[in-house]
Amino acid sequence: MSKINEIIQLQKRELELYFGNGYIQRTERLAELGKDIIKVVIGPRRAGKSFFIIHELRSTNHFGYINFDDEHLTTLKNYDELIASANLIYNSPKILFLDEIQNLPNWELFVNRLQRGGFNLILTGSNSNLLSSELASHLTGRYASTTIFPLSFKEYLSHFGKDLTETEIRARLPEFATNGGFPEPLVKNLDYKSYLKSMYDSILFKDILKRHKIKSINSLDNLSAFLMANWGNPYSYQSLAKAAGIKSTHTVEKYLGLLEEAFLLFELNAFSFKMKEQIKSNKKAYVIDNGLITAKSFSLSPNTGMLYENLAAIALKKRQLKGEIEFYYYKTSQEHEVDFVVKEGLKITSLIQVSYDISNPKTRSREVRPLLRAGKELGCDNLLLITEDFEAEVEEEWFGIKGKIRYIPLWKWLLNN
């Protein structure tokens, strides 16, 4: 048996093991599964993309699988060997699942050839660019996309059984806020911190540094570590350059793009009706999963309120990627911040603050006054304050500005977003 045949045979054996392992049902569905167009699934490394596809294909007995997270496959000169091996081991499958396809040099030419040859293709990639510029510019056929994030709170809860009581649901939120939603440590009862530290290093050094041939390892590592410790705080490219010891703001902007492409974090713009002001304003970054924050944290217990805010940002980001909304943060004319502005089409549909504990009157006032001010400035009366456990609709007033604010516990909001 040739080396390539042997690798693909071993991958097939691993694939068969997937069906026996615990699987947490995802709320996403594989787009256009029954149609003969290219299916693309993107998302963070180890978010469960392969498991998701395999379980979507479980009613299909005849498909082939090649995982390009193997350097022996990505250094091949003759890609015909891959097709020959897949045909031999999987008995000439019509459906071909190509995992982590971005690791294969000139993958787009290979994929186009396979599609012209009549294969029904499913691709995965751990970088968002696979779906945008790379995919759109290189694939000649139509494609449908699905994005898989780490587990949502609703998916996370399903691991612990059906019909959980409200008390049980609320009890699970702090551990979810701390550990995040990567499925493997949950299913296999692994230590989250060591697992996610290892995964973070793999993403940084394999998916970014190696793939993009970055020479200044320390600069990228410093920038990433700074953002992991200061997520949710406004920054300029100049301030990031100073903090990370990087000379050029253009380099900072490039590195930020690579960190976002690899699904480590995502940037959030400040809202303004004037596009120039929006572009010039400071940005914020949020982390793709709370477990990464905890794993990289220098403190024993990261700020719970900020962890809650990051969970809300992730939920909104998922909706943004589906094309349902746009979202931003906002600074009022008095320089008070509102965590999130949600926009649907041309209309601002809600303003959101996240605060873990509003039992202290000063804290409550600090959260309420930006909402009321922003509601007046932006013409939005749907004001939402996400809390740990307080739920009510309250008519609030601050220096003559009145408005109804809906208070809702984070666990309940997450189950509906």
Fold for 3-147, please state it.
Rossmann fold (3.40.50)
* Model confidence pLDDT, tens digit, residues 239-280: 999 999 999 999 999 999 999 999 999 999 999 988 888 878
Whole-angstrom Cα distance, residue 139 to residue 102?
Answer: 13
- pTM here is 0.92
pLDDT at 168: 97
Residue 38 has φ and ψ, to the nearest 5°, of -70, 125
pLDDT value, residue 275: 81
Q: Which residue has the tokens 């959980």?
A: 164
| Rg, Å, the chain Cα set | 23
> What is the model's pLDDT at position 392?
95
Distance CA 197, CA 218 (A): 17
Strand ranges (E), 72-127: 95-99, 120-125
pLDDT at 81: 92
pLDDT at position 20 is 60
| Predicted pLDDT at 153 | 98
What's the rounded Cα separation, in Å, for the pair 350 and 348? Answer: 6
Q: What is the DSSP string of 365-404?
A: HHHHHHHHHHHHHHT---EEEEESS--EEEEEEETTEEEE
Tokens standing for residue 10: 């071993």
User: Rounded to an integer, what distance in angstroms lies between the CA atom of residue 48 and that of residue 290?
Assistant: 16
Picking from 375, 310, 33, 18, the residue whose alpha carbon sits closest to that of residue 179 is: 310
Question: Quick one: pLDDT at residue 19?
Answer: 63
- Taking 50 as the pLDDT cut, the residues of the chain under it are none
Q: What is the DSSP letter of 165?
A: -
